[in-house]
C-alpha cells in the first residue's frame, strides 16, 4: 500500500534546491530575486517583523492597557453553611463527600467554608480554610473542624 512514509521517486530525477545568488549564469545572480536596493533586499529585513503595520502605530500600542492577571491566584472553592445544612444525610464532610454532593467541582483544589446561612446540627469538617463566622457557628452547634493542607 502506498503511503507517505514509503514514497519513492524511482528513476525520476530528484531535483535539488535552487542555489540563488551564485552568479549571472544561474539566472538568479546579482540581486538574487530580492529586487533592487532597500530594506527588503537586506538579509535582516525588518519590514517583515511580527505586528509591523507599514510604519502605522501597531494595534497593540493603539489600544489601552486594561487590568492584570495575578500569578499567585489561589483557586479556592467556596461552600456556605446553608449548603451543608441542606445535606441532611451526612455528618462528616471532606473533599470527596463535598464533590459527590455537587458542592465543589474539583477534589484537588482548596475548599473554604463561609458563614452564610445557619447550621443546627453537629457536623465534622475536613477542609483547607474556614471563615471566623463559620467556625463560630459550627462550634456553637457542637461540630468539629479539621484544617488540612
Edge-to-edge, what's the strand order for the sheet holding 124-127?
92-93, 124-127, 144-147
In the chain, how many domains are there?
1
Instruction: Kindly indicate the confidence band of residue 11, based on its pLDDT and cuts at 50, 70 and 90.
Output: confident
C-alpha atoms less than 13 angstroms from C-alpha of 96 in its C-beta half-sphere: 1
Global pTM reads: 0.54
Q: Which domain holds residue 92?
A: 77-147
Any domain includes 15: no
The tens digit of pLDDT for each residue in 24-81 reads 888 898 888 888 888 778 877 766 678 888 889 999 999 999 999 899 988 999 999 9
CB 141 within 8 A of CB 122: yes
Any domain includes 46: no
Q: Is the pLDDT score of 82 beyond 80?
A: yes
Residue 133 sits in a domain whose CATH number is 3.100.10.10
Cell 509591523 maps to which residue?
Answer: 52
Amino acid at each position: 500500500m502506498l503511503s507517505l512514509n514509503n514514497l519513492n521517486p524511482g528513476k525520476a530525477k530528484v531535483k535539488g534546491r535552487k542555489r540563488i545568488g551564485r552568479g549571472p549564469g544561474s539566472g538568479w545572480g546579482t540581486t538574487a530575486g530580492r529586487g533592487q536596493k532597500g530594506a527588503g533586499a537586506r538579509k535582516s529585513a525588518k519590514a517583515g517583523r511580527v505586528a509591523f503595520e507599514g510604519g502605522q502605530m501597531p494595534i497593540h500600542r493603539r489600544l489601552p492597557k486594561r487590568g492584570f492577571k495575578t500569578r499567585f491566584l489561589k483557586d479556592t472553592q467556596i461552600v456556605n453553611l446553608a449548603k451543608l445544612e441542606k445535606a441532611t444525610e451526612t455528618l462528616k464532610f471532606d473533599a470527596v463527600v463535598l464533590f459527590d454532593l455537587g458542592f465543589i467541582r474539583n477534589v484537588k483544589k482548596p475548599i473554604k467554608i463561609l458563614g452564610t446561612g445557619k447550621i443546627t446540627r453537629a457536623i465534622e469538617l475536613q477542609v483547607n480554610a474556614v471563615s471566623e463566622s463559620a467556625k463560630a457557628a459550627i462550634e456553637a452547634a457542637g461540630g468539629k473542624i479539621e484544617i488540612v493542607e
